[in-house]
Structure 1
Amino acid sequence: ASRIASASLYYRHYNRVAAGVDFYVESTDQARDLVEILELPEVKWIHSGDMPVQSSIDVALQDYETVVLHGDATFVRSYYHQFNHAMQQMDGLVREKMPAMIGYVGGSMQCGLKGICAKCLQWQIDPRTGDRTKAVYACSWQDQPLALVDLDHLQRRADDQGGLLQLDRLWSSIGQADFELESA
């Protein structure tokens, strides 16, 4: 039952994201498979291994309204840096005509209650100065404007959670093996 509920949650989330997005880049085969299963035809899905995001969007960058990056912290951070580098290389494009860059800034859902455990706190910055302005709960605001995100903090937070993710995968595989034994 939890897998069905989870799939429904992801379906609703991707439908909401798809409604306002012109171009979507995702980073894993598993994510692409999920989207194909959910049949979301209104979004262009380009796998990061097929072509780099810079060559994918710099042809007519001003034609896009929003670019969303979903993936791990390393993926989001590196592609956002590529985007900014590409913008610096382009002549004649006005900053106001550039698409909004939204990125996945997920956090662990230890409590699921927005603020009880604070393991998901993510710093935001002032885009002009780079100074930290406030911390937000990433568990309740997972897709954030990347100009506001402290990407170095995002990477450090993700690195710190690496051990927890490995433990979670191990527990999940044990649970799956037990389920398969009981079903047989």
Structure 2
Amino acid sequence: MLALVGAILGGCSAPGGNPPSAFRRTTDQIYVALGLSQIFGHPCYHKVEAEAGDYSEFIGKDACYRFDPPRHFEGIWRDEFEASRFFPNLDHLPAPEEDSGIWLSVDSVWNKLPPAVNEAAEKGVTTNYRIAFIGRKTSVPGHYGHMGASREDIVVHRIIEIEPLAAATPD
């Protein structure tokens, strides 16, 4: 029993997955620590029984992961095809190949973003924005965002300011 508790709190995880301490639900922590998610299903999903057939449904980030308290963030948001990168406290455009390792989740405020943001996203155009917002960052580094490629995730709860930036020009 002590080994189980140590594994859960110690943060061992499946290759490419989040450590057990990243999850809010104890069952998810145990399944990940013991490698049982292949048997009992992926963490943060629950089974939905439907007439057309059963399926798994994501419980949502707030219910799934541990987050720090809400706070003010400022920096550069790079919105691109299958990527949403946030560069905190940056006052200049990052190089195109630069990666902050921070995924910016704007789902909850998408309908409050300026129309130009939505239009650029629909066209698949990479766009940079200076942004200030209130949000919450994941408490435990892991694998977040598209394909788990980011070590942290920040969920935006309220946009304070957003301004499109000119595209970077070669030196």
Higher helix content, 1 or 2: 1
**TM-score for the superposition, normalised by structure 1:** 0.21
Higher strand share: 2
Could you say which structure has the greater relative contact order, defined with CA pairs below 8 angstroms and 6 or more residues apart?
2
**TM-score, with structure 2 as normaliser:** 0.22
